[in-house]
Chain A
Amino acid sequence: MVYKLLIRNEWKQLRRSSMWEQSLGIQIFLGFIFLIVFAELLAGSIIIAKNFEEMFPDDDPVEKFNSFLLYGFGLGFLMRFFMQKVPEFSIQPYRHLPIRKSVLINYVLGKSLLSFFNFLPVVLFTPFILFQMAPWYAGSQIAGYVLGVLFTVITVNFFSIWFKRSLSGNNWAAGIIALVLVGLGLLDYFGLISLGKFSSLLFTALLDQPAWLLLPLALSMIAYLINYAALSAGLYPEENIKKKKSASKRIGEFSYLKQFGVIGELMRLEIKLLLRNKRPKSTLYFLPVFLFYGLMIYPDIQGKEMLGMLIFIGTFMTGPILIIYGQFLLSWESSYFDGILVHISDFHQYFRAKYYILVGATLAAYILTIPYVYFGTKILLINTAAMLFNVGVGPAFILMMSTNNKKRLDITQRAAFNYQGVSFTQYLMSFPVMVMPLLVYLPFWAFGNPTAGIVAIGVAGIIAFAFSNGFINMAVRRFLNRKYLIAEGFRQKY
């Protein structure tokens, strides 16, 4: 049976993926994070399910719950668009073998059902069904409901795959969907057109009349068949690669950096690296999340004396590049590192270029956070101190720690859920960057002078900046001692 062989290879691929090559410590750490997220989701949905009546006392709980479902599935669609893999590339090695095309297509489509996003609803729905439906509805009614939701999940799964493949990752399309969702939500909110009512009608009907089950069933089959047709028409990978715009249009030249000689040239290279490769680029998409963090927290803690928290947020918002780009410093360049070694004769310049980029990015992030002064001048003061610290101490620390990176990083792959090239070094790097300012602040706070603590954070940054040359030299010395080790690691492709 061909399916059995395919599944066996799939299992091997899973077992041998880069995720499992991590050291035990990281596996435990990641497993721990995963458990926490899972537990939070489960606990959250249990709490909501139990207290649903108190939260919406005027409505029938089931009808109210159902009114959220279309929004939920829409959101799921969006998340899948960004994170779910389009699976057909994995069958390329089988295409020349005597295996029927239909087998491969069914296999690929079936495999997509194993996605994490298809199991998420189980966690979200089960508590509600247990607490709010089981006591009042007959088993057959609930069975019809569960099947209806299940088919809807499958429909969303296949439509999102199809959508993603047809657009080959054109992110503007996802933006349009997000806008449509927000727009419908607003219309709902102002009572113009209610998607919620429609949603409620659809899913509540499942409980009353099992025949409604045919609708999601038909939709899921249609979605499957569309995918099937699309795949059998073109199993050729090059058709999925969108026509590239000519390189000249994509190329930002950053020519103004040329005047800074070798350092400027190295900075240009670094910026091109960030903008032209999938993994660093998709990491950069997270930047707004960092910057909007304040918007989520500041209103809540306004007027409260939570300086420690504010310092943490300030560090977080002014140092995102430091963390997300700095953690893989050197590793980003693993694919051409031998070239760097034979061409660069002065590694002080090499590290200084990176230093300037880190400092520049921190300053840029700081400027973007200035409007938060709206929440009080104290916040501006704290963010300034955090910025100074991230300019002085942060880059020095990151440069030093980057010499521990010795795992090859495939920068052409996506970033989300990608553990390739990750090692303990990354955690050792990001964590202290976030915590160090607090450590400076803590003694002053303990002696009852928190303001002095904030000033101390800024002063520590300025002092470190004054000695940046020394820090860079230290990093270079450490690098020269370890360069064979680093280069050897970067040559290991798997």
Chain B
Amino acid sequence: MIETFDLTKAYDQQVVLNLPGLKISRGESFGLVGNNGAGKTTFFRLILDLIKPTTGEVRIDGKNVAHSDDWKKITGSFLDDNFLIDFLTPEEYFEFIANIHHLSKGDLEKFYTGFETFFDGQILNKKKYIRELSRGNRQKVGIAAALLIKPEILILDEPFNGLDPTTQIRLINLLNDLKAQSDITMLISSHDLNHVTEVCERIVVLHEGEAFKDIRKSSTTMKELEDYFAV
């Protein structure tokens, strides 16, 4: 589904990401962990064609993301506040995204019902602009908008950051349900090893821009990860 070819990204000769041949297949849940500056966000931005690779390319369904826009129709993503149009109300924002992606009013209604628990009464009908929401609630809006388009690929950068414990657990359940019901491909990064291992089957540890470890989840995964990070 997603493949990198010879992919590197460097700033001023300093290589920050080097993932020459990474393959993520359809239906895989892919967790990305690593310390600050390891290159997680850079990798996601490269997949989403937000920055230009220094060498190589990312392909989604065999097409270079920089040369085709097809992937935009099947990819839902939320990396940071730069994705949110903060002078809209959440409803207006969802409607905007839905219209851009040609979803119907019925789709939107279904989406609101599906996300009722996740929103926890904090998002809809509050008559507030997104910029007036707390950080956690903005995060909820961003994640929900990524899922609104019923994506085949979901990319979330640090989705658990800023969420309250209840919502964190709800998000984990939401993602696991999604995984069980569809063959969605998920790419999720996190600082929290517990959260990532609860959702993802495959964990990649990024270290200074390289895939330091690439492991399938098993009973020893947590131990292995803790050993790496406890330096």
Contact = CB atoms under 8 A, between A and B. Distances in A.
Interface of A: 244, 246-248, 251, 258, 261-262, 265-266, 268-269, 272-273, 276-277, 335-339, 341-346, 411-412, 484, 487-488, 490-491
Interface residues of B, number: 34
A346 B84 CA distance: 19
A266 B96 CA distance: 8
A272 B81 CA distance: 19
A345 B82 contact: no
B69 A345 contact: yes
A341 B50 contact: yes
B174 to A, nearest CB: 21
Given A262-B99, A339-B82, A342-B75, 12 more contacts: A244-B132, A247-B127, A261-B99, A262-B102, A265-B96, A272-B87, A277-B87, A339-B84, A339-B85, A341-B49, A342-B50, A342-B72
Contact of B52 (A269, A344, A412, A484): A484
A229 to B, nearest CB: 30
Contact of B129 (A247, A265, A487, A490): A247
B143 to A, nearest CB: 13
B101 interface: yes
Contacts, number: 79
B51 A488 contact: yes
Q: Which of B50, B84, B89, B128: most chain A CB closer than 10 A?
A: B50
Contact of B96 (A269, A342, A490): A269
Interface of B: 48-52, 69-70, 72-73, 75, 77, 79-89, 92, 96-97, 99-102, 127-129, 131-132
Contacts of B92: 251, 272
Contact of A343 (B81, B97, B127): B97
B82 A336 contact: yes
Q: Is the interface of B mostly helix, strand, loop or mixed?
A: loop
B136 to A, nearest CB: 19
A309 B224 CA distance: 77
Contacts of B75: 342
B87 A338 contact: no
Nearest to A346: B69
Nearest to B69: A345
Q: Is the interface of A mostly helix, strand, loop or mixed?
A: helix
Contacts of B97: 343
Contacts of A258: 99
A268 B83 CA distance: 18
Contacts of A336: 82-86
Contacts of A345: 69-70, 72-73
Nearest to A246: B127
A407 to B, nearest CB: 15
26 contacts: A247-B127, A248-B127, A251-B92, A261-B99, A265-B96, A266-B100, A268-B96, A269-B96, A272-B87, A272-B92, A276-B129, A336-B82, A336-B86, A337-B82, A338-B83, A342-B48, A342-B50, A343-B97, A344-B72, A344-B100, A345-B73, A346-B69, A411-B87, A484-B51, A488-B51, A491-B82
Nearest to A490: B82
Given A273-B87, A336-B85, A341 B52 contact: no
Nearest to A491: B82
B50 A338 contact: yes
A484 B52 CA distance: 6
A131 to B, nearest CB: 53
A244 B97 CA distance: 26
B100 A262 contact: yes
Nearest to A274: B87
Nearest to A344: B100
A370 B128 CA distance: 40
B48 A341 contact: yes
Contacts of B82: 335-339, 490-491
A269 B72 contact: no
A247 B128 contact: yes
Contacts of B72: 342-345
